[in-house]
Structure 1
Amino acid sequence: MTSLTQTAIVTRKIIRYGVFFLTFLIVGKIVLDASLGIYRKIFPPPPPVPTVKFGKLTKLPFPEQQRPENLTLSVETPEGGLPKLATQTKVYFMPKLNPNLLSLDVAKDKANSLGFSPNEEQISPTVYKFPHKTSPSTLEINIVTGIFSISFDLKADSSALERRPPAPEIAASTVRAYLSTANLLPEDLSGQATHEFLKLESGGFVSAPALSEANLIKINLFRKSFDNFPSLTTDPNKANVWFMVSGAREREKQVIAAEFHYFPVDESQFSTYPTKTSEEAWDELTTKGGGFIANPGQAKSGETIKVRRIYLAYYDAGIPMEFFQPIIVFEGDNGFVAYVPAVTNDYYGQ
């Protein structure tokens, strides 16, 4: 009996101390994990060294421009000043497009898929024109770069403007479906789709305030974001791929005008490069006269423009480039937008 009692006492002690020990381990792990998390937050590990495997980069092909006179900028951001940006970003390789013996045949196939006759007219060594099979529309395409434009002769047939254009979502879907018929809707052309209502006035198209007053709707298809950074074009309000769509029921009368400037990005081939601080980019834009004014906005001469947002993005130039590169964007009041190359100047060639 005594032996059984002692065994029970020992068993209870083992269970009690076991529970205490297990509780200690659990609480200790929680405290240790929390402590390590706080330590890493206060003392984060240094980022890996940028790989810079592409060597010196070609300078970004910003268009030449006359900078606005008396341009004065000030910073009024939510952060209360210039924000902290990523210390390094990816630079992506863009495959080079080369002509070959099948370039014209490929262009003919695209034209046929888009509804145009394969009976081409040569405009230059690389540019060909294709008439539409049934409507007064023309496709002009560069057989090397793949850049193309579409124009519909409204003087020859104005019936395309008789019906109200479709809603933005329907128009965007129509454009994507149209491009898909010719395998011209790449996966990364899946960014924001914006729209603008247009009306015919004095022989040209101007912005309309609402769909009810519009003759056409313009759809802009932007490239997707890369590493959560948006892709921005030379004009941030205009995509490199855009279509003006009518409300006509006949498919051949739905596309009134279009521009397609797309160049592929190889996401599997990239390298990391050090990026400028927001202070360095700000100094380059305001003091050294660098960067590019993508949209001067509507500020009056001599008026100080307040910059509200500063962030990283990628520059989608709409022309052939070796690399898809990051930029630092400055957005201000009255539509002001400016770009500064994000990679530190040491890694740009002459």
Structure 2
Amino acid sequence: MITLNKVAWETKAILKWGGIAIGAIILIWIVFGLGGTIKKVFFPPPPPPPTVGFGKLLQIKFPPQTEVKNLTYAIDTLTGSLPSFPDRASVFKIKENEANLLALTNARKKLEALGFNSQPIPIGGNVYKWSDKSSISRTISLDIFSLDFSLSSSYLLDQDIISGKNLPDTTEAITKAANFLKSLDAYPKDIDEEKTKTNLFSIVNSNITPASSFSNSQLIQVSFFQKDVNKLPIYYSNPNEPPMLFMIAGGSFQAQIIQGKFAHQEISDEKETYPIKTADKAFEELQQGKAFIASYEGEDKNISIKKISLGYYIEDERQLYLTPIYVFFGNDNFLAYITAVTDEWLSN
């Protein structure tokens, strides 16, 4: 016969052993879960391989070296060694220029508003030339699809410019250059205005030389630079002269753009990852003379490498993809570039 005492005892026993079982299950789950976490921390699974979705990439087209220098290199970083970098980097697709049947008409209207009233003269491909009737006879050669252009003039014959009459300050010069691009609907969205630079120049016996101060300047150079990509800076063949550069002068009545060049490549959001060389491999290629030397103002053949970093390179000609480079910094403004993507993913 079942009594209340027996029922109570059996209930307590069930609860007791049930609690123990549940506790054991929870403990096992915690132990295995913690073990898995510890394993992932100390023995993480390998990352998936780079996507390499664009296939093999074209070699970066660096400009020809104007002078071959037999340089030797020594690592002189703060740590005395080269840093470690990830084993991969993103490669971005460059947007293509879209053809437009109204491109020539639209370009003519925009340039007329800027004073270039001549009839367009075709000079090859999508490029046309216009001129204005100003005292310095400005001409502009413009690609009607990309809106890349070069502008020149005979400013060295203008006495008002040579005397520095109506030369604007640097802020006004930047605004002048930016407004010129905006009038062409060409001001890029990826301009980093905090990087914009100005340089002062003097005109001495028809020669352009750096000016020591604003008071003896007749020209202001304005340089625009693109924003970082993936937190990495963009570099150009001439680090001091990006392909978006204007020269501003004064004149009889107001400031004016007397010289300039503009070439911009729009970087899309479409990207793939590619394996990259180690810093040691890049340094080895530097020693083998495979680097493009973008800047060096010294005479010594021995270069101390103070720093190495990753960046992206915009070529002088239009490119299909924005690819990473290793950048070496050394004494006397030494700057050199090495392609970062491994050779197996570069076409010959």
TM-score where L is the length of structure 2: 0.81
Matched, 1:105 2:105: yes
Residue of structure 2 equivalent to 1:163: 165
Matched, 1:242 2:231: no
Residue of structure 1 equivalent to 2:7: none
Instruction: Identify which range, 303-312 or 138-147, moves more after superposition.
Output: 138-147
- SS of 2:171's partner is helix
Q: In structure 2, what is the Cα distance between the partners aligned to 1:114 and 1:279?
A: 52
Matched, 1:59 2:66: no
AA partner of residue 124 (structure 1): G
Q: In structure 2, what is the Cα distance between the partners aligned to 1:46 and 1:167?
A: 56
Q: In structure 2, what is the Cα distance between the partners aligned to 1:271 and 1:58?
A: 15
Output one character per residue of 1:61-110: Cα deviation in whole Å (capped at 9) or x when no partner: 11122553321111111232111122211111112336553332233234
Structure 1 residues 148 and 250: CA distance shift in structure 2, 3 A: farther
Q: Structure 2: 5+ residue runs without aligned partners? A: 1-32
Matched, 1:154 2:155: yes
Output one character per residue of 1:246-284: Cα deviation in whole Å (capped at 9) or x when no partner: 244845x51011000112111x21111111110011111
The answer to whether the Cα contact below 8 Å between 1:165 and 1:211 also exists between their aligned partners in 2 is no
Q: In structure 1, what is the Cα distance between the partners aligned to 2:116 and 2:103?
A: 17
Matched, 1:188 2:186: no
Residue of structure 2 equivalent to 1:309: 307
Determine what percentage of the aligned residue pairs are the same residue.
Answer: 30
Q: In structure 2, what is the Cα distance between the partners aligned to 1:183 and 1:104?
A: 14
Q: In structure 2, what is the Cα distance between the partners aligned to 1:304 and 1:90?
A: 33
Deviation at 1:194, TM superposition (A): 1.7
- SS of 1:91's partner is strand
Structure 1 residues 48 and 208: CA distance shift in structure 2, 3 A: farther
Residue of structure 2 equivalent to 1:328: 326
Q: Which residue, 199, 205, 208 being the options, matches 2:208? A: 205
TM-score where L is the length of structure 1: 0.81
Deviation at 1:115, TM superposition (A): 3.3
Deviation at 1:148, TM superposition (A): 0.7
- SS of 1:334's partner is coil
- SS of 1:324's partner is strand
Residue of structure 2 equivalent to 1:13: none
- SS of 1:50's partner is coil
RMSD of aligned C-alpha atoms? Answer: 2.8
Q: In structure 1, what is the Cα distance between the partners aligned to 2:252 and 2:181?
A: 18
Q: Structure 1: 5+ residue runs without aligned partners? A: 1-31
Residue of structure 2 equivalent to 1:21: none
The answer to whether the Cα contact below 8 Å between 1:119 and 1:130 also exists between their aligned partners in 2 is yes
- SS of 2:139's partner is strand
**Higher radius of gyration, 1 or 2:** 2
Q: In structure 2, what is the Cα distance between the partners aligned to 1:69 and 1:133?
A: 46
Q: In structure 2, what is the Cα distance between the partners aligned to 1:102 and 1:91?
A: 33
Deviation at 1:182, TM superposition (A): 1.9
AA partner of residue 111 (structure 1): L
Output one character per residue of 1:26-69: Cα deviation in whole Å (capped at 9) or x when no partner: xxxxxx99xx79x84x6666444211100000111111225533
Q: Which residue, 172, 176, 179 being the options, matches 1:177? A: 179
Q: In structure 1, what is the Cα distance between the partners aligned to 2:185 and 2:103?
A: 15
Structure 1 residues 309 and 138: CA distance shift in structure 2, 3 A: same
Structure 1 residues 95 and 50: CA distance shift in structure 2, 3 A: same
